[in-house]
Amino acid sequence: MERATEAWAIIHSLVVARRHRIPEVAAELGITPGDVFALLSLLAEEPKPMRDLAEAWRCDASNVTWQVDRLEERGFVERRSVEADRRVKQVALTPSGLEAQARVLAFMHVPPDELLNLGPELLDQLIGVLSRIDPGRQPDCRPT
Amino acid sequence: MERATEAWAIIHSLVVARRHRIPEVAAELGITPGDVFALLSLLAEEPKPMRDLAEAWRCDASNVTWQVDRLEERGFVERRSVEADRRVKQVALTPSGLEAQARVLAFMHVPPDELLNLGPELLDQLIGVLSRIDPGRQPDCRPT
DNA sequence: TATTGTTATACTCTATAACTATA
DNA sequence: TATAGTTATAGAGTATAACAATA
Residue A115 domain-assigned (yes or no): yes
**Bigger pLDDT: B140 vs B68:** B68
Residue A52 domain-assigned (yes or no): yes
Each residue of B9-56: pLDDT tens digit? Answer: 999 888 877 877 888 888 888 888 889 989 988 876 689 999 999 999
The average pLDDT across A12-38 equals 85
Residue B44 domain-assigned (yes or no): yes
User: What is the per-residue pLDDT for A1?
Assistant: 64
User: What is the per-residue pLDDT for A101?
Assistant: 93
Please name the residue of chain B whose CA is at the shortest distance from the CA of residue A124: B3
User: What is the per-residue pLDDT for A137?
Assistant: 42
- The 3-class SS string of chain B reads CCHHHHHHHHHHHHHHCCCCHHHHHHHHHCCCHHHHHHHHHCCCCCCEEHHHHHHHHCCCHHHHHHHHHHHHHCCCEEEEECCCCCCCEEEEECHHHHHHHHHHHHHHCCCCHHHHCCCHHHHHHHHHHHCCCCCCCCCCCCCC
The integer distance in angstroms from the CA atom of A60 to the C1' atom of D7 is: 14
Decide if pLDDT at A61 tops 50.
yes
Q: How many domains does chain B have?
A: 1
Quote the mean pLDDT of chain B.
88
Taking the C-alpha atoms of residue B123 and residue A47, their distance in angstroms, rounded to an integer, is 36
User: What is the per-residue pLDDT for B144?
Assistant: 32
Residue A17 domain-assigned (yes or no): yes
Residue B35 domain-assigned (yes or no): yes
The pLDDT confidence band at residue A23, using thresholds 50, 70 and 90, is: confident
B106 touches chain A (CB under 8 A): no
Taking the C-alpha atoms of residue B24 and residue B31, their distance in angstroms, rounded to an integer, is 10
The CATH code of the domain that includes A27 is 1.10.10.10
Residue A141 domain-assigned (yes or no): no
CB-closest option in B20, B125, B144 to A129 = B125
Range of the domain at B37: 2-133
Residue B28 domain-assigned (yes or no): yes
User: What is the per-residue pLDDT for A140?
Assistant: 40
A44 touches chain B (CB under 8 A): no
The average pLDDT across B100-105 equals 92
